[in-house]
Structure 1
């Protein structure tokens, strides 16, 4: 039997030729956090559609909620005291993939 779905090559940035960032959200299925996770993934993709190589959701158990960017843990529900709001999540992603980028009203709300 042959593999019908060979692994895809990582998406590469046109400007640098380097792999584009990969964001993963691991969420607890027992806690019903799929919709929250999907919404956060959608928000990241709506802001960073061209910059992201992949955004994926990973089901887990035991109250897990972790967000990783290129394998680096950037948010952990237990460690960081709950869930990030979308503003914080977008700023975390921006600060790691394009620190000079202006997020528009997100960077100015509450200042």
Structure 2
């Protein structure tokens, strides 16, 4: 079965639009690779985390920041389709 992504966000902090934008980007990039992307209002203030199934791939409190969309796509790709080319979103080596 294809994986599901959950974006848990704090509605009191006004992070719903950020979560919706990230969900749209993931659905566009991984249209054939995902079962769903769910937006989940958190009951915990300040929470912004992203999970693939039950594995947390990004947590705002742990990282001390929000993910960049390029970074998020790479994290999701590594979980759902490691061989997928992300084009311009791909890491460039120095």
- TM interval, shorter chain, is over 0.9
Q: CA deviation at 1:100?
A: 1.4
User: Following the alignment from structure 1 to structure 2, what is the Cα–Cα distance between the partners of residues 84 and 31?
Assistant: 16
TM-score where L is the length of structure 1: 0.79
Matched, 1:56 2:38: yes
Q: Provide, for residues 36-74 of structure 1, a one-character-per-residue CA deviation record: whole Å limited to 9, x for no partner.
A: 000000000010011100100000141010100011011
Q: Secondary structure at the match of 1:83?
A: coil
Listed as ranges, the matches of 1:68-79 within 5 Å are 68-79=51-62
Matched, 1:34 2:16: yes
Any gaps of 5 or more consecutive residues in structure 1?
1-18
Q: CA deviation at 1:35?
A: 0.1
Q: Which residue is equivalent to 1:43?
A: 25
Where is the helix percentage greater, Structure 1 or Structure 2? Answer: 2
TM-score where L is the length of structure 2: 0.92
Point out which structure has higher relative CO (alpha carbons under 8 A, 6+ apart): 2
User: Following the alignment from structure 1 to structure 2, what is the Cα–Cα distance between the partners of residues 37 and 23?
Assistant: 12
Could you say which structure has the larger radius of gyration?
1
User: Following the alignment from structure 2 to structure 1, what is the Cα–Cα distance between the partners of residues 82 and 66?
Assistant: 22
Q: Provide, for residues 75-97 of structure 1, a one-character-per-residue CA deviation record: whole Å limited to 9, x for no partner.
A: 10010121101000100011111
User: Following the alignment from structure 1 to structure 2, what is the Cα–Cα distance between the partners of residues 77 and 36?
Assistant: 13
Provide the aligned C-alpha RMSD in A: 1.4
